[in-house]
Amino acid sequence: MVYTQSPLAIGLFFMFVLGVLGISFYFARRGSSAESYYAAGGNIHWFTNGIAFAGDYLSAASFLGITGMIATAGYDGFVYAVGYLAGWMVALFLVAEPMKRLGKYTFTDALDAKFNSKGIQLMAAISTLVVSIFYLIPQMVGAGTLVTPLMGLPHYAGVIIVGIVVTIIVATAGMASTTYVQFLKGALLIIFSTVLCGAILNRGLSTAPNQGGTKEYHKFVTLNADESASGDLQLADSSYSVAANWKSSAFGEGGFVMLTKEGAESIWHINENPEGGYLLEETLYTTELADGTKLYNGAEAEKGKFFAVGHMKEVIVNGQSVVETGALGPLDYLRAMQNSTVVLWGKKYVHDGDKKFTIYYQKPTPGSKVLRAGLKFKVDNATTTQKLNYISLMLALFCGTAALPHVLIRYYTVPSQAAARKSTIVAIAAIGFFFIMTLIMGLGAMTNGVLNITDSNMSTPLVALSFGVILFSIISSIAFSTVLGTVSGLIVAASGAVAHDLMNNFLGLKMTDKGMVMAGKLSAVVIGLIAIYLGIIFEGMNVSFLVGWAFAIAASANLPAILMILFWKGTTAKGVATSIGVGIVSSLGMILLSPDMYVRYGLLPTDAPTSLNNPGIISIPLSFLTLVIVSLLTRKDIVPELDAEAAEA
Amino acid sequence: MGHGPAVKLGKDNASPYKAALGVKMFFAYTFVYAVFVALNSLSPATMEITFGGINLAVIYGVGLIVLALIMAVIYNIACCKAEARLNK
């Protein structure tokens, strides 16, 4: 895809970044104590904290990933939104108030409040670091993805910009600045997403989306062809030529054929014609040459031969077939989608000699299938493992939210348990409203002729671009500040784990208040550099896939410990420490040995020792079981309950 | 650095009530969520049934989000009343 940079977009981007830095420096002058750095002094208003929760949570994965997944796989992207939001009920009903009661600066504080155990301090700090770093990677990759269309910079430049800006933010002011940055960003995100949804509904659905009359949609060509008695492919349009071995070639075996017209090659998807012969449908494809060069529809990206896609094959409103619907309300929009047919895009890989082709072909799909599970996750006629994979993912999403360290530390920024509860409710309202809008935004991106088929993460900014450069500029800048804010929160959580949990508590380096803040800031710089490095080397990796890892690890390592400490008096320090360790090792191990990872290693997925891609269904119960067994075996270690004030406060 | 909350918290006599209510509401919501996951994975065709032109999958998914907010508000009202009653 070729993007044209807009001075307005670049100007707005710099305005956002400078605004974020301004807030950061302002709060840096207001407080330098450990309470200020790690917990914003515990004085944030619950409403501000609730919107900041939403800002933290609506990360690149939510804002870019979910909408992008809905744009390419329909309802299967939306179930991520449902799972993420449902996880907040675990946070509200079970975790919010006790976390506020028990903790001070970090998630480890809450786990260790009862025991003062070196084992818990070490394992919880490692868990915080591992989860934070796994959550950081997709944010940095998302940043790199955004700067290409926004500023025309390469991926690594975006990663470095985010890394430097965030490290400056965190190394200057800590939790107070990240809270206000997240508040601002969360509020803007919801406001402008509402504007975008309104624009999408106002435009409605069309079989030839022309972006409000500003851009003509690509006219897809279909060719008629017959197979002669000798096996040659005879095309109705004689301006195309085809190789004699079309059927036995690598393309033919994949269901495609390469045609040549005036020296230019193109790949076509072969479909049986109900009236006899074949119908050849136009495809989009990328080619990776032996020297690593990548071509788009047979030419360099700069030539602009690779075009945006996304349209309705047929639009049905009130039983009538129409070309376009005009403005629709949200329910009518969903009804029209339900009754119509959308052209989605399948993907196949073909190796021809030393060239690797990725071919995207049209897949007309009834709206009734788009708006239910099954396009991304196999649930129809699925094997038990495929069903378990789906259930395991939904379990990890449900259990992961209340175990994410950067979410949990936000409970320390408010003044009371009631404020912790109320801020969670504000977060649920804001996040829930946004997640419902992702359905409209995703379907809008699916059907407005804006999709970059090679990178679904860009769907939201690109559908905004179809409504003009101003909305695109604002949405892209918000998306970028989304990454800034989330990365800030993650680095605060991770630096707290290093400075407070590992250095101060576990290693016993009794630091002064100022010393601990300095240690936290230095840790933030080091973690920032690690995040920049990982963001660059993980370029191109699926953002949602990586976030799924972070949720599974957090749910396996942290949630059993949190819940059992709160609800089972028989829990011992050794039980907690062992369960965190088993949770990290089992979830991480299963991910690294999963079929999806084997594909990334260049191996066959069938060779993977486990057939599950999502470890939660095994690793979460295993972590619970470990905690119970080890606690029962070490019951003599149980210490008296918290002192009365801490327990009852 | 010692442990304990970042700010001094007052005594909260409503904690046991709120914890018990939270557990009950958690299990109620978890049940509704579990049915959603089970229908999607074990009986996806059921989710195609339409009500007023909108299929069950969308109604259930959006419904779970709306239900979360409704239950959260009810929980907060109950907790606020308990705090007012027990922390006089």
Domains and CATH numbers, chain A: 34-204+384-648 (1.20.1730.10), 222-370 (no CATH)
**Backbone phi and psi for residue A29, each to the nearest 5 degrees, phi listed first:** -80, -20
Low-confidence ranges of chain A (pLDDT < 50): 641-649
**A516 in contact with B at a CB cutoff of 8 Å?**
yes
Contact state of A380 with B44 under an 8 Å Cβ cutoff: yes
Contact state of B4 with A646 under an 8 Å Cβ cutoff: yes
Contact state of A649 with B33 under an 8 Å Cβ cutoff: no
Contact state of A93 with B75 under an 8 Å Cβ cutoff: yes
Cβ atoms A206, A316 nearer than 8 A: no
When pLDDT is averaged across residues B56-67 and rounded to a whole number, the result is 97
A165 vs B46, higher pLDDT: B46
Token pair recorded at residue A477: 């800048």
Q: Single out the residue of A553, A630, A614 nearest to residue A127, CA to CA.
A: A553
The predicted pLDDT at position A648 comes to 41
The predicted pLDDT at position A443 comes to 96
Residue A229, CA distances (Å) to A225, A226, A232, A233, A393 in order = 13, 10, 7, 10, 51
Contact state of B80 with A100 under an 8 Å Cβ cutoff: no
The predicted pLDDT at position A335 comes to 95
The predicted pLDDT at position A486 comes to 77
The predicted pLDDT at position A542 comes to 62
Q: Which helix (H) or strand (E) holds A537?
A: helix A513-537
d(CA B72, CA A11): 41
The predicted pLDDT at position A111 comes to 79
Contact state of A432 with B53 under an 8 Å Cβ cutoff: no
Q: Which of B2, B19, B72 sits opposite A425 (nearest CB)?
A: B72
Contact state of A75 with B83 under an 8 Å Cβ cutoff: no
Q: Single out the residue of A551, A549, A556, A553 nearest to residue A621, CA to CA.
A: A556
- Domain residue extents for chain B: 15-86
If you count residue pairs, one on A and one on B, with CB atoms under 8 Å apart, how many are there? Answer: 184
CB interface of B with A, residues 57-86, below 8 Å: 57-58, 61-62, 64-66, 68-69, 71-73, 75-76, 79-80, 83
- Cβ neighbours of B53 in A, within 8 Å: 331, 334-335, 338-339
The predicted pLDDT at position A642 comes to 46
The predicted pLDDT at position A647 comes to 40
d(CA B3, CA A108): 10
Q: Single out the residue of B76, B44, B68, B47 nearest to residue B59, CA to CA.
A: B47
When pLDDT is averaged across residues B41-62 and rounded to a whole number, the result is 94
The predicted pLDDT at position A457 comes to 77
The predicted pLDDT at position A523 comes to 83
B32 vs A92, higher pLDDT: B32
Name the DSSP class of A89.
Answer: H
Adjacency order of strands within the sheet including A233-235: A233-235, A222-227, A278-282, A264-272, A256-261, A241-242
- Cβ neighbours of A334 in B, within 8 Å: 53-54, 58
Distance between A214 CA and the closest CA of chain B, angstroms:
32
Contact state of A38 with B3 under an 8 Å Cβ cutoff: no
Contact state of A113 with B33 under an 8 Å Cβ cutoff: no
Contact state of B37 with A43 under an 8 Å Cβ cutoff: no
Substitution target from B11, B62, B74, B81 for chain A, most A beta carbons within 10 A: B62
Q: Which of B3, B40, B58 sits opposite A109 (nearest CB)?
A: B3
**B17 in contact with A at a CB cutoff of 8 Å?**
no
- Cβ neighbours of B72 in A, within 8 Å: 89, 92, 424-425, 428-429
Query: 3-class SS at A464?
Result: helix
Cβ atoms A248, A233 nearer than 8 A: no
Helices (H), A250-353: 250-253, 330-339
Q: Which helix (H) or strand (E) holds A297?
A: none
d(CA A526, CA B10): 38
Q: Which helix (H) or strand (E) holds A259?
A: strand A256-261
d(CA A354, CA B63): 51
**For residue A644, with 0-12 CB atoms within 10 Å meaning exposed, 13-18 middle and 19 or more buried, which class applies?**
exposed
